[in-house]
C-alpha cells in the first residue's frame, strides 16, 4: 500500500501522507517481527530443537499467558527501579544545583560522584545485603546508586550551559539565587536533564534486576535466575520480554514527558 501511494505521485493530501508516515513508523519493524517469529517457529519445529535450548515462540506465548504472577513480579521490579530512580532524581538534581553554583562543592564532591560510577555496582550488592537485608530496600538503593551518576553529570552540565550574558544580566539587576536558578539555569538544563533521565531510567532497571539476582524471592530478576537454573527457557524468555517491555515503555514515556515539558514551558510563558 505504501508503495502504491508513492508510485501514484504528488497528489497526496497532507492528512493522508501523515497517516502513511505513521504506518511507515511501525509498519517495517512489525513486518520484520512477524517474519522472524514465523522463521523461528518453523526452524524449531523442523529441526526438532529441544525446548530447554530454544523454545518455539508459540511455547513462549503459552508460558506468558500461564505465568499468573508475572504481573506481580513485573510490578515489584518496576517499583524498585522507579523508587530508586525517583530518589536519585531528587538528590541528583539538588546536588547538581550545588555543584553548578559552587566551586567548592564542585571540587569537593565531583570526585566522589565519579567514584560512585567507577565501582562496579555488582560489587556493592553483597555489602548492602549485609547492611539492609534481602528486602526491597537494597534493590531501591542499588537502583538509586546506579542512576545517580548520569543524572548528576547531565544536570550539572545543563545547569552550566546557561547563557553567561543572561546570568550577568540577572546579577546586574540583583536577581536572587532562586530567581537565577528557576528562571534561567533550570530551564536551560531541561534538555540535558531529560537526556540524563532517559539513560538513568534504563539503568535503574538494570540495578533492580542485578540486586534481585543476589538474593530475592520475587521480582523479574528472581524469575530470570530461577528460570535459568531450572532450565525453564520459555520462562526465561517471558521474563526478558517483560523487562524489554518496561524498558521500551519508560523510554517512550520519557520522550513524551520531555516533549510535554519543553513545549509546556513555552506554553505557560505564552499564556502569562
Contacting positions for another protein (CB under 8 A): 163, 165-166, 168-175, 179, 183-184, 187-188, 262, 265-266, 269-270, 272
Minimum separation from the CB atom of position 59 to another protein (A): 52
Minimum CB–partner distance for residue 259 and another protein (Å): 13
**Least distance to another protein from the beta carbon of 170, Å?**
7
> In the structure grid, which three cell numbers stand for residue 177, read together?
539565587
- Distance between CA atoms of 254 and 198, rounded to whole angstroms? 6
Of 61 and 175, which CB lies nearer to another protein in the complex structure? 175
Q: Which is nearer to another protein, 179 or 249 (CB)?
A: 179
Q: Which residue reads 530567581 in cell numbers?
A: 179
Q: How far apart are CA 200 and CA 204, in angstroms?
A: 6
Element housing 73 (H / E): helix 70-101
Termini Cα distance of the chain? 47
State which residue, 22 or 271, has the beta carbon closest to another protein.
Answer: 271
Minimum Å gap between C-beta 166 and another protein is 5
Which of 93/125 has CB closer to another protein? 93
Q: Name the residue nearer to another protein (CB basis): 130 or 173.
A: 173
Handedness of CA 203, 205, 209, 211 (dihedral sign): positive
- Report the nearest approach of another protein to the CB of residue 180 (Å): 9
Q: How far apart are CA 126 and CA 120, in angstroms?
A: 12
The three-class DSSP label of residue 253 is: helix
CA 82 to chain centre: 10
Amino acid at each position: 500500500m505504501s508503495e502504491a501511494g508513492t508510485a501514484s505521485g504528488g497528489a497526496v493530501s497532507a492528512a493522508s501522507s501523515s497517516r502513511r508516515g505513521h504506518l511507515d513508523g511501525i509498519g517495517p519493524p512489525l513486518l520484520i517481527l512477524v517474519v522472524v517469529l514465523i522463521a523461528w517457529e518453523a526452524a524449531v519445529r523442523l529441526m526438532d530443537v529441544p525446548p530447554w535450548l530454544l523454545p518455539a515462540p508459540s511455547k513462549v506465548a503459552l508460558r506468558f499467558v500461564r505465568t499468573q504472577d508475572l504481573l506481580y513480579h513485573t510490578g515489584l521490579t518496576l517499583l524498585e527501579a522507579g523508587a530508586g530512580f525517583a530518589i536519585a532524581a531528587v538528590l541528583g538534581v539538588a546536588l547538581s544545583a550545588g555543584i553548578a553554583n559552587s566551586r567548592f562543592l564542585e571540587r569537593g564532591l565531583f570526585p566522589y560522584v565519579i567514584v560512585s560510577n567507577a565501582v562496579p555496582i555488582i560489587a556493592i550488592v553483597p555489602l548492602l545485603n549485609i547492611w539492609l537485608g534481602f528486602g526491597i530496600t537494597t534493590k531501591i538503593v542499588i537502583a538509586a546508586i546506579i542512576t545517580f551518576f548520569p543524572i548528576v553529570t547531565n544536570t550539572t552540565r545543563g545547569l552550566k550551559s546557561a547563557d553567561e550574558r543572561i546570568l550577568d544580566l540577572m546579577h546586574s539587576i540583583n536577581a536572587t539565587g532562586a530567581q537565577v536558578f528557576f528562571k534561567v539555569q533550570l530551564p536551560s538544563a531541561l534538555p540535558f536533564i531529560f537526556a540524563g533521565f532517559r539513560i538513568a531510567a534504563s539503568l535503574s532497571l538494570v540495578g533492580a534486576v542485578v540486586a534481585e539476582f543476589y538474593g530475592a524471592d520475587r521480582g523479574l530478576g528472581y524469575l530470570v535466575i530461577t528460570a535459568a537454573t531450572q532450565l525453564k527457557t520459555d520462562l526465561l524468555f517471558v521474563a526478558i520480554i517483560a523487562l524489554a517491555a518496561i524498558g521500551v515503555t519508560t523510554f517512550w514515556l520519557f520522550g513524551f514527558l520531555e516533549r510535554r515539558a519543553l513545549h509546556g514551558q513555552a506554553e505557560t510563558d505564552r499564556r502569562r
